[in-house]
Each structure stands twice: as C-alpha cells, then as structure tokens.
Amino acid sequence: MAAQTPTQRKATAKKAAATRKRNASKRQASTTRASARNPRESAQGTARRARRTAQTRVEAEATRAESLALQAERARALRACLRGRRGRAARRRACLRRHGRTPGRVTTLSAKATGKRRIVLRFRAPGSDGADPPAARTYLIKQSRRPIRNARAFRRARALCRGTCRFSVTELGAKVSLKVTGLRRRRTYHYAVAARDNVSARLGRRSRSVKARTR
C-alpha cells in the first residue's frame, strides 16, 4: 500500500473526525428520543436516586448519633471508675486501660506558608476509637526546626495550643485547619500531629513529618 501524502493524511483525518462527530450526534439524538418516549422511567430513576441519597444520609446520621451515645456512656463509665480512693494512681492507670481507646492516625497532614510569618496546617479528622466514629476533637500538634522522624523528636518538639488543640468536629474525615502565626521569615518549620481520645485523652500514632518555609 502506497504511503499517503501530507494532503491525503489531512483529508483522511478530517473525514474520520467528521464521522466521529456524526456518530456522536446520532447517539445523542437516540438518547433524547428514548428520554422523550419514556419520561415516566426517567422520572422514576431520578426519584430512586433521590431516595437512595436520602437513605444514605439518614443512615450516616444514625451511625453518628449512636457513636456519640456510646462515647458518652464510656465517659460516664470512666468517671465512675475513677471515683475510688484507694490506690489512686494504680486505679487511674487501670481505668484508662479499660475505658480508653487509641485514636486513628492522621494520614493527610499538609503544611503551607500563607504569609511571611504564617503557616496553615490542614488534615482530616480520624476516629477517636481507631477507624470508628466519632471523630477525634483534640490533637497534640508539634512544631520543630528539624524533621520529626521518631518518638524522641516528637517528644522534644514544641507543642502548639499549650499541648491540646481542640476543634469542633464529629464526622470522620472532617476537614481540620490550624493557622500558626508569629513565625520567623524565610525559615523552614516541621510539623507532626497525634490525635487524642475524646474520653481518656490517650494519644494515637503520630503522623508523618511535613514541612513548610515562610516567605
């Protein structure tokens, strides 16, 4: 088969594009005619999707309410456990082991400089009890001039919010942000976060270290 000249290739490509456009128009016209013939089926499909969406929302709200009720019950049990007077330190440790939970790990931490002396931290809230709702509301957020690569570096880093940063969240995956101000210009800062259990304040695993440089 002889090779096509540039003019022939251009004409072939133009013809193919016209064919694709014509076929797309036919498919669109066919879909439009089908919808016109079956307006009841189209309306029924829309109604079914709306019902499914509403049902999903109802189920999510029920799950959230149930998790909050279980959390409140766990808090009452912890307070009752701590009322004893004998062996207070040992009792406290036993009560926290029994009623405390380990929160999920923050896996979406990011840091971005938004000014000469300001950095914004963002992440999504993990569960107060592992991957289960409700979301953890308090966090230990550490800041350092060096990467926070291990437990020792995390302990030695400076804590923000006087050791407890609190946010009004209840849903898993809710967006959380914190503005860190009063920083020095043209400096690199490193951050890591660990969630706290809403009831016992037990720390979860720390996040990976992220960094940002002020302008």
Q: pLDDT for 153-185, tens place per residue?
A: 999 999 999 999 999 998 999 999 999 999 999
Q: Can you tell me which residue has the tokens 């009752």?
A: 80
Beta bridge partners of 211: 190
Q: Can you tell me which residue has the tokens 């251009």?
A: 10
Whether 25 has a pLDDT exceeding 80, the answer reads no
Whether 209 has a pLDDT exceeding 60, the answer reads yes
pLDDT at 7: 66
pLDDT at 10: 60
Q: Which CATH architecture fits 110-213?
A: Sandwich (2.60)
Task: Specify the 3-state DSSP secondary structure of 180.
Answer: strand
- Could you tell me which residues come within 8 angstroms of residue 154 by beta carbon, excluding any fewer than 6 positions away? 142, 148, 192, 194, 206
Alpha helices in the chain (DSSP H): 6-37, 39-81, 88-99, 151-156
Poorest-confidence range of 53-57, 80-84, 93-97? 53-57
Mean pLDDT, the chain, whole residue set: 87
